[in-house]
Amino acid sequence: MRTRWYTRLLLIPLIVSAGYAYAQFPRDGLGGFGALRGEQGDPAELPPREWPDRNVAGCHMLYTSVRRESNGSGWRTDYPWAQRNLLIRLSELTKTHVSWAEENVPHVWLVRLTDAALFGCAYLMASDVGTIGLSQEEADALGTAQCVQIVSGLRAMQGISGVHVIGLGREESVRHVIEEAGLFPRPSPAPA
């Protein structure tokens, strides 16, 4: 009788300490960065080398958090369901073609700012940005992506026949912006 009591008494701390020990080891294969899962445990959808179609898909910014906020989960906050709901409503209320992963589940790609897939995104959403920490490389890539979007948008407008791109102190970025916006090699002018 006494042996059973001692056994149970020893088993409780053993089980508790095993749980603590298990929690110390990363199980994500990413060196402890954290599993690429959304706030509700949804697996991340990383962009493919080639887009499955040219329909609108969501892109969500993957970044490193440098501090914590109450009720915040860094890039995981609302990923991917905020964008999925937005895209579902967009497809229901407009004639916009949305890229679908499966029925009623639109694609929402998780994109690093240094990933070339960033330039294929129709839009980029970030959540819990009060915790964001960008490296210089990420900040440069984000600025370049914004410039490409602006130049591409201007190019699509009727009546605009040219654009001037200046890279003050970042001349190497100018060629990249021009190429990504489809301006190099120089396009032939549209008939008047």
Q: Is residue 15 part of a domain?
A: no
The verdict on residue 24 lying in a domain is no
Share of the chain above pLDDT 70, in %: 81
Q: How far apart are CA 13 and CA 63, in angstroms?
A: 38
Q: Are residues 123 and 44 in the same domain?
A: yes
User: Which carries the bigger pLDDT value, residue 74 or residue 34?
Assistant: 74
Asked if 102 and 185 sit in the same domain, the reply is no
Q: Tens of pLDDT along 95-113?
A: 999 999 999 999 999 999 8
What total of structural domains would you count in the chain? 2
Whether residue 126 is found in the same domain as residue 141: no
Residue 181 lies in a domain: yes
Judge whether residue 3 has pLDDT over 50: yes
Q: Which one of 106, 133, 160 terminates a domain?
A: 133
Q: Are residues 128 and 40 in the same domain?
A: yes
- Domain of residue 180: give its range: 135-192
Question: Tell me, what DSSP letter sits at residue 105?
Answer: E
Q: Are residues 79 and 55 in the same domain?
A: yes
Q: How confident is the model at residue 170 (pLDDT cuts 50, 70, 90)?
A: confident
Q: What are phi and psi of 185, to 5 degrees?
A: -65, 160
**Would 8 be classed as within a structural domain?**
no
Whole-prediction pTM: 0.64
Question: Is residue 96 within 8 Å of residue 45, measured between CB atoms?
Answer: no
